[in-house]
Amino acid sequence: MASVTSYGAAQTVTGSCHLLKIGPIQILIDCGMFQGNGGGEKNYEPFEFDPSEIDYLVITHAHLDHIGRVPKLIKEGFEGKIIATQPTHDIMRIMLLDSAKLLKEEYKTLRRKARRRGEEDKIKEPLYTEDHVKEIFQKEWILLNYFERHKLPKKIRLTFGNAGHIMGSAFVMIDYEEKNIKKRVVFSGDIGNRSRLIIDPLDNTEEGDALFVESTYGDRLHRPIKESIAEFKQTIIETLQRGGNVLIPSFALERTQEVLWLLRQMHTKGELPECRVFLDSPLAIKATKLYKKYPINLSDEVEYEALSDEDPFSFEWLEPTPKREQSLSINRVKRGAIIIAGSGMCNGGRIMHHLKHRLWNRLNTVMFVGYQVRGTLGRSIVEGENYVKIYGEDIVVKAQIATINGFSAHGDQSDMLEWIGNFKELKKLYLIHGEIEKIEAFSNAIKEKLNYEPVIIEHGKKVNL
């Protein structure tokens, strides 16, 4: 009997890793990094399965919580084939090379902590290096378009649908036979908000016997996108008019491109007060180039601009700052700046030194435009901490804190209920990728509105399909 065991994103948001076994064939859906509370050290723990026995690694999309341990998987013996979309393949390269650089610094911190506990043998070297990342792209890849069926051994078929989450993101449909009965299991990956700004919307599917679906925002409805855009504009205008600066901790993928698209529109319409806009993220600069490379994956309006030789993510006042000295020079700008920098959860990256220099100033605004995982600096700031520690110093939080929820790349409860409701003969429904209270709220909503009895997946517990 086919089975699935989840080794990540089970009653938590990060570390997506689901092992599907169909007869002798083993298919791993994602191999993500744990983030937030204790995530760093957890990534160093041995896999709870044998990487050398995995036949196929299927990547739903290129966020680190879905790809961040792929180099470790290969380092520890994976020799199978990798299946993804072309944009995901390209984005993975820049994401993982950037991750490898950050892991060098994380390793030093984790090593010191382990040494103090007398456990230095647990963390002997960085999780992986740039060389391990390069090995990934020497493997055999199977690159699929949406709804292109690919044959695997033992009468297994794999198909991607557009998950509408980030460029290249996919939900996975796997067809197989068991005792001459045709079955399909679907893994949602991360389901996108239907009110997306810059990429094509989520696809639907009607066929599936078993569904593993994310629950990140299963407990809430997002603010309408028009209201979120209005709040985004108002916050920027008010901050600049009072002589402050806007700090936007932003994810390099999707969120940065959405922010740039909105700022470009404000500039074109004359809504943006005169200012300097800094894109202070080498990774986001590289990612934005990839978004321009695949205009067919963009929404109609953005695609039209891209195909008309316009740059939908640039305008006159935008200053990319890829070099370190360029980033440090931003500190000399006292007022009238919008600074877009990673990481999106403030757990590293260039946003840290901008927060150190500007978080204490009540004229400034820190605008969060993405989800903040528990245990991250971003979550602490959002939850109202008066002081936060940055580079070993206690920094007082006096800046205005704004949270714009409507830009989420994840669907809210309504989006996901609508998507699940398209399935005609769903027999089993499993909830993954969510904090437990959100999963429970989503489970109750599914019972009430769709009349399914969902199963909340537990880490490491096998379920038979």
CB neighbours (10 Å) of residue 445?
17
**What would the mean pLDDT of 272-294 be, rounded to a whole number?**
95
Tokens standing for residue 203 = 């696809």
Q: Which of 369, 388, 407 is the last residue of a domain?
A: 407
Q: Which CATH number characterizes residue 310's domain?
A: 3.40.50.10890
Q: Which residues pair with 65 in a beta bridge?
A: none
Pair (403, 455) in one structural domain: no
Domain that holds residue 13: 3-220+409-464
Instruction: Name the least confident of 49-58, 111-120, 306-315.
Output: 111-120
Report whether pLDDT(71) > 80.
Answer: yes
Distance CA 117, CA 113 (A): 7
pLDDT at 310 over 90: no
The CATH number given to whatever domain includes residue 48 is 3.60.15.10
Q: Cα Rg for the chain, rounded, in angstroms?
A: 22
Given a cut of 90, is residue 41 above it in pLDDT?
A: no
Mean pLDDT of 236-251: 97
The count of structural domains within the chain is 2
Q: How far apart are CA 337 and CA 277, in angstroms?
A: 6
* Mean pLDDT calculated for residue range 105-133: 82
Quick one: average pLDDT of 246-261?
94
Residue 94 has pLDDT above 90, yes or no: yes
pLDDT at 307: 85
Based on the fold, state whether residues 253 and 290 are members of the same structural domain: yes
> Do 306 and 165 share a structural domain?
no
Q: To the nearest whole percent, how much of the chain has pLDDT over 90?
A: 82
The C-alpha atoms of residue 306 and residue 26 are separated, in whole angstroms, by 40
Structure confidence at residue 89 (pLDDT): 98
Question: For 121-125, 201-205, 278-282, 290-294, which range has the lowest pLDDT when averaged over its residues?
Answer: 121-125
Q: From residue 321, give the alpha-carbon distance in Å to each of 260, 283, 301, 325, 369.
A: 14, 11, 27, 9, 21
Q: Model confidence at 90, in pLDDT bands (50, 70, 90)?
A: very high
Q: Note the pLDDT of residue 231.
A: 96
216 with 322, same domain: the answer is: no
Q: How many CA atoms lie within 13 A of 232 on its CB side?
A: 25
According to the model, what pLDDT value does residue 194 have? 83
Confidence of residue 449 (pLDDT cuts 50, 70, 90): very high
- If you average pLDDT over every residue of the chain, what do you get? 94
**pLDDT tens column, 362-419:** 999 999 998 888 888 999 999 999 999 999 899 999 999 999 988 888 999 999 999 9
pLDDT category at 223 given cuts 50, 70, 90 is confident
Q: Is the pLDDT score of 35 beyond 70?
A: yes
Could you give the angle at the alpha carbon of 385 between the alpha carbons of 380 and 390, nearest 5°? 65
Q: Do 230 and 256 reside in the same domain of the chain?
A: yes
In this prediction, residue 114 carries a pLDDT of 74
Residue 38 has a pLDDT of 63
Q: What is the pLDDT of residue 141?
A: 98
Q: Do both 150 and 230 map to the same domain?
A: no
* Model pLDDT, residue 39: 67
pLDDT(434) > 70:
yes
Decide if pLDDT at 124 tops 90. no
Interval 131-148: pLDDT, tens = 999 999 999 999 999 999
Answer for the pair 208, 187: CB distance below 8 angstroms, yes or no.
no
Same domain flag for 191 and 232: no
346 and 424 share one domain = no
- Residue 375: predicted pLDDT: 85
Q: Are residues 447 and 341 in the same domain?
A: no
Same domain for 414 and 403: no
pLDDT at 134: 96
Is 207's pLDDT higher than 80?
yes
Specify whether the CB–CB gap between 58 and 83 falls below 8 A: yes
Give the end of a domain, one of 392, 407, 422: 407
